[in-house]
Amino acid sequence: GVSCTVVDARFCKPLDSQLIRRCAKEHPVMISIEEGAIGGFAAHVMQFLACEGLLDGGLKFRPMTLPDRFIEHGDYRDQLAEAGLTAGQVAGTVLQVLGRASEATQFSLNSMMR
């Protein structure tokens, strides 16, 4: 029940400012997902959005990155789950930001049980 645009931003530099600007103007919510640490791609996007005034009109932006703590070596799927970056956790974040908290909780619980 959620329509979205997926952008594969393969490279942080140079930042595709035209694409980011267009997405910010056409969507009420932006979420960046990366398997990198805090201060990576999302930080560059937030800096651009802030400097361009694109966060001044109500755009909601949520960065999803690896947490700033040690994650044990192990199965890739387990590491993603611990980091909060599984498909279910991403979907839960999307629903939460859209104001659909009850659906977010249910969705996250269901996806973790699979």
pLDDT score, position 29: 94
Calculate helix-pair angle for 41-51, 17-26, nearest 10 degrees: 70
CA 59 vs CA 6, 16, 29, 46, 108: distances in Å: 17, 18, 6, 11, 24
Question: Which residue, 3, 1, 50, is CA-closest to 26?
Answer: 3
> Which of the residues in the chain have pLDDT under 70?
107-114
Q: Note the pLDDT tens digit of each residue in 69-95.
A: 888 899 999 998 989 999 989 999 999
Contact between residue 27 and residue 54 where contact means Cβ atoms under 8 Å apart: no
Q: What is the pTM of this model?
A: 0.82
Ordered by where they begin, the domains of the chain are: 7-69 (3.40.50.920), 70-113 (no CATH)
